[in-house]
Amino acid sequence: GIILERRRRRRRRAAAAGEAPPPPPLRERGGYDGLVGATPMVALPALSRALGRRVLAKAELLNPGGTAKDRIARAMIEEAEASGKLRPGGEVVEGTSGSTGIALAAQCAGRGYRCVIFMPDDQAQEKVDLLRTFGAEVHVVRTAGIANPEHYARKAAAYAEATPGAVFMDQFETLANFRAHYATSAPEIWEQATAAHGRIDAFVMSAGTGGMIAGVATFLKERSPATRVVLADPPGSALFSRLKFGVAYANQQKERGVRLHRYDTLAEGIGLDRITANLAKAISAPSGGGGAGKKGRKRRRGGGGGNAALIDGAVQVT
């Protein structure tokens, strides 16, 4: 009673003052789900000293599946359950470069669902091995563009449509992805970073599906319109052109010159070449309101893994 009433009063006061409402209370959970989220924010002292800025990193590797994809896996399954699409004994189907599949496989093992994963053939074998360890059925397919029916996400969608009791999670387009990060990742980042520093000058993130950068950007912009949202991406990025010129196109896509693997990078799981429904929640928003809008920045330089790209982006921002 008292805690709920205080929250209601805070919401009423915020609404009367024209302020963004406080985030909803986090739901208490047990078991595997209880380990998802609430990850620590850690300082990077060497980088902070070199840049003359306080640089913090959200330690999403401490989620039970090792990535932030645990958050969206839980959200997608729970929304499918609530809608009645996913029933006891059903199948969870997804097309993934690995991390979302690992998170889904772990969730399915705990909830009693069968998990079927479609992956492109340019991903690390360790991901395939881990998926199978968690009990998932894995189909490795040749790498193809999203317009091709052989693309791993389209293969997963076709399989689910043809299989009774199967549900395609559709991580790229379902807004359960965006909502998961808006409701959990973003409030954690805001509370942890502002407690340590009082404000957030910039948030740097890459885009695999676009759900995390969109969810966090929207939340941060509602509370601090001056906060910069920076998208870090590998060379050959179509998103760079989309944010700078309004067209999602890179020279590597030109006819007669396009290669099967046009990203010259070691990073897996990033390098999105289209505007997903999740990413659109950020980049289509007005620059003074929610999302990244025109204040967003795109960084192409950098190599190595996804975390290296983020650090490179942070260096360039400062």
Catalytic residues: 69
d(CA 78, CA 45): 38
d(CA 186, CA 198): 16
What's the one-letter identity of residue 138? V
CA terminus-to-terminus distance, the chain: 46
Query: Would you say 150 and 1 are in contact if contact means Cβ atoms under 8 Å apart?
Result: no
CA angle centred on 59, ends 138 and 117, rounded to 5°: 10
d(CA 95, CA 169): 8
d(CA 317, CA 230): 8
Exposed/middle/buried for 44, CB within 10 Å: 0-12, 13-18, 19+? middle
d(CA 100, CA 216): 18
Q: What are the tokens at 163?
A: 């299989």
Strand-pair partners of 140: 119
Residue 308's CB is within 10 A of a number of other CB atoms, namely 15
Cα–Cα distance list, 317 to 53, 167, 226 (Å): 11, 41, 14
H or E segment to which residue 178 belongs: helix 176-180
